[in-house]
Amino acid sequence: MSWERVIGQHRVKNLLRQILSSGRVPSAFLFEGPEGVGKDAMAIELAKTLNCERGGIEPCDNCPSCKQADSLQHPNIRLVFPLPRGESETKDDGPLDRLDEKTMKRIREEIAVKSQDPYHRISIPRAQVIKISSIREVIHEDSLSLYQQGRRAVIVMQAEEVGTESANALLKVLEEPNPGTVFILTTSRRSSLLPTIVSRCQSLRFDLLSEDEIVDALVKRHSLSQADARLKARLAAGSFSKAVELLETDTMEIRAEALDVLRDVAVRNLSQFSARARRLQESKDIIRVEALLKMLQIWLRDVAVLRFGSSSDVINQDQTSTLEKMVRSFNTSNLIEAVNAIDSSIRELNGNVNLGLLFVNLLLNLSGLLEKKNEAQSV
C-alpha cells in the first residue's frame, strides 16, 4: 500500500492524501514535472484509489477493482495518449476505427507494458498528437453511467501533445465538469498547454528523484547490484525512466571506456580522439554517447571529491588508486570548467549535431583544461 509503485514524491503523496481526506477532490489535476519521475504512475495510483472498493485515502491493492486498475483494464479508468491517424480517417471515426491491426497490436502491447511498469512512456509509431476523436469519445463516455461503482478517471498522458482542436474540446469539458469524473493530465512541458486548461486544473509539481531513491528502486525492481545501480542512477540525473533505459547498457563497460578517454586526454592522444569520434558518429547511439559523457563527469566529480572532500563520498570506491593518480596528474583547478564543458556537449546532443565532431571538440577542450601537472605521471 502507500502508493508503493510510485518512487519517492513524498511531498506530492502527502498533498494528495490531504485532498482525499478532505473529501473535496478537484474535477481536474495537472501533474507536471520532468520526464520519468512518476507523474503517470501517480495518476494511475490516484485513479485506482478513487475506485478502490474499500475506500480510504490509499488503495488496498487487493480488491478486484484495484487489480483491474493495476492491469489498466478497469472500466472506470480511461487512458488518453497520442495516436496515429488511420487510413482514410474522417472526423466521424473513433480514435481506433481506422487503425490497422499492426498498430492495434502495438497499442495493446504498450498498454500491457505500462501496466507492468507505470514509468514506461507509451509510444506508438506515427503518433504525434492527441486526436480530437479521442477527446470526443471521452466526452461521450462521460455522459454515460459508470459500469461499476467508483469514479470515472480520465488520464491524459503527454498532455502537451494535445492539438489545437483537441485542446479546445478538452477545455470545454473541463469548464463543464461532470461531478463523477476526475481528469488527470500529465505533462513534462506545462508551457505547451493552453493557459486556460492549466487554470482549470489543480497543479501538482513533481520533483526529480534523488539518487538514493533511484538506486533503491533499481535494486528492488530490477535486481541490480548496488554498484551498478549507483552508476545508472547518477547517469539518469533524477529520472527513473532514464535509469531503466540504461538497463540494457553495460555501465561498467562505459565506465572503463570513459577512463580510457581520460587517459587519452591526459596525453593529448589526437589519433585516438579521431578514432573514437568516428566510431561514435557511425554508431549514432545517442543514449550511449550521453551515458559516456555523463560517466566522464562522474570520474571528474570523484577526482574533485578526492582532492577537496571526503574519500567516503567517492562513487567509484573500487578505483581510489586510479583516482589518486588523476589527482596527482591533472590540473584540478579547472575541474568545474571541465564538467561544465561536458554539460554543454550533453545539451547539444538534443539537436541535429555531428556526434563525431562534438566529441573530438570536447576532448580537445578537456585536454587543455586538464593539462597534466607532471608529464612523468600517468593516469
pLDDT digits (tens, 9 = 90+) for 7-24: 999 999 999 999 999 988
- Reported as a pLDDT band with limits 50, 70 and 90, residue 217 is very high
Q: What is the pTM of this model?
A: 0.77
Reduced to 3 states (helix: H, G, I; strand: E, B; else coil), residue 96 is coil
The better pLDDT of the pair 39, 343 is held by 39
Higher pLDDT, 87 or 44: 44
Mean pLDDT of the 151-163 span:
92
Instruction: Please identify which residue in the block is written with the cell numbers 501517480.
Output: 42
Q: Where are the domains of the chain?
A: 10-207, 249-369
Average pLDDT of the chain to the nearest whole number? 87
CATH 1.20.272.10 for the 249-369 domain, yes or no? yes
Question: Alpha-carbon distance 200 to 174, whole Å?
Answer: 6
Please tell me which residue, 234 or 125, carries the higher pLDDT value. 125
Confidence bin at 375 (pLDDT 50/70/90): very low
User: What is the per-residue pLDDT for 273?
Assistant: 83
DSSP 18-80: HHHHHT---SEEEEE-STTSSHHHHHHHHHHHHH-TT-SSS--S-SHHHHHHHTT--TTEEEE
Q: Which CATH superfamily is domain 10-207 in?
A: P-loop containing nucleotide triphosphate hydrolases (3.40.50.300)
> What is the distance between the alpha carbons of residues 183 and 132, in angstroms, rounded to a whole number?
16
- Which pLDDT score, from 0 to 100, does residue 2 have? 67
129 CB-near residues (< 8 Å, 6+ apart): 82, 161, 162, 163, 166
DSSP string, 131-192: -HHHHHHHHHHHTSPPSSSS-EEEEETTGGGB-HHHHHHHHHHHHS--TTEEEEEEES-GGG
Whether 300 contacts 339, CB under 8 Å: yes
Q: Strand pairing partners for 80? A: 156
Q: Is residue 47 within 8 Å of residue 118, measured between CB atoms? A: no
Among 97-101, 256-260, 265-269, 337-341, the least confident range:
265-269
The whole-number average pLDDT for the span 315-344 is 85
Mean of pLDDT values over 172-189? 91
- With beta carbons less than 8 A apart as the criterion, state whether 287 and 245 touch: yes
The confidence score (pLDDT) of residue 373 equals 57
Q: What digits encode the pLDDT tens for the residues 99-147?
A: 889 999 999 999 999 999 999 999 899 888 999 999 999 888 887 777 7
pLDDT tops 90 at residue 226? no
